[in-house]
Structure 1
Amino acid sequence: MIELDDIDRSILRALAEDATQNAGALGRRFGLSQPATWRRIKRLQDSGVIAGRKLDLDREKLGFGVTVFLGVKLATKGRVSLEDFERAVTAIPEVQTVEHVLGMFDYRLRITARDIADFERVLRRRIMTLPGVGDVEANVLMSEERRPGPLG
């Protein structure tokens, strides 16, 4: 585990809010030079603390108005490997995340669709036809609040 000081934590919080900030702007904000800030960011990347930066798209503005969390229980664990299921389900473009979980279901999927009819199509034609799929439970996202990360 890497040692983090207060400035490292501040940089991480700032990048979590807006990953497009450059080292010069962050340095000015935290009283560091651009090269010193860049070295800190590079160290955080090299150590794996910063695993990547991603683009946060507004799904609704792109025409995807429905998000559904789908619990999936595999019917035949012995017949279908977890890796085969994961490979097949991640190939479905509407599936945004695949989480292998402990509990009532084996997997939790985050699915985006244009509307409920589109979600039903994805469920019937893509998810339910995957090998090994048994019980499923859908929960439609009503609203979402952004929560600060572990450094919050």
Structure 2
Amino acid sequence: MLDDTDRRILRQYQAAPEIAASDLAGRAGVTPTTLSRRLEALRRSGVLRGVRGVIHWPALGYDVEVSLRVTLDKTAPRAFDEFLAAAREVPEVLELQTFLGVVDVRLQVIARDIAHYQQIYRERLLPLPHISDIESLVHIARLKTDEALPL
């Protein structure tokens, strides 16, 4: 699917998505025209889905990050759908993941401090439908964050 040129382009693009196209082309060893054509083909094929801004939440005063592992009451026929729809409405929930196993859903939640998290937990998270068990894991340190693929 990807050839060596595509891999070189993606490697360089992952490393520095903000640089000018001419600089990116030079780093990838292709002409700007080839770069443009290849990036467009990668977008059309769904390999390259876009560029996004990454916000450092603590810089905005959100110093607490919590992962919640939720087990749902699976006796309710629409438990997953109703829980996920309600959880999407909580602004402090940054990420939802579903799993097979004892834990059904993981939520990534941010808060300004522990008191703010406690308020979010009591007022917005505990009332979510169909929860049979919930476990909170407060993040202490992020040791590695890397979305780049080893191309």
Same fold by TM-score greater than 0.5: yes
Alpha-carbon distance between aligned partners in 2 of 1:116 and 1:75, rounded to the nearest angstrom: 28
Correspondence list, 1:57-96, <5 A: 57-96=55-94
Alpha-carbon distance between aligned partners in 1 of 2:75 and 2:50, rounded to the nearest angstrom: 33
The amino acid of 1:150's aligned partner reads: L
- Bigger helix share: 2
Runs of 4+ in 1 over 6 A off after TM superposition: none
Distance 1:63 1:48, change over 3 A: same
Q: CA deviation at 1:143?
A: 1.4
Alpha-carbon distance between aligned partners in 2 of 1:148 and 1:98, rounded to the nearest angstrom: 17
Aligned residue in 2 for 1:42:
40
Aligned residue in 1 for 2:24:
26
| Structure 2 portions without partners, runs of 5+ | none
Q: CA deviation at 1:40?
A: 0.8
Aligned residue in 1 for 2:146:
147
Equivalent pair of 2:93/2:109 in contact (CA under 8 Å)? yes
Instruction: Kindly indicate whether residue 82 of structure 2 is the aligned counterpart of residue 51 of structure 1.
Output: no
Q: CA deviation at 1:148?
A: 5.6
Alpha-carbon distance between aligned partners in 2 of 1:38 and 1:12, rounded to the nearest angstrom: 12
Structure 2 SS opposite 1:61: helix
Distance 1:33 1:77, change over 3 A: farther
Alpha-carbon distance between aligned partners in 1 of 2:131 and 2:78, rounded to the nearest angstrom: 9
Q: Percent identity?
A: 32
| Structure 1 portions without partners, runs of 5+ | none
**Count of equivalent residues:** 150
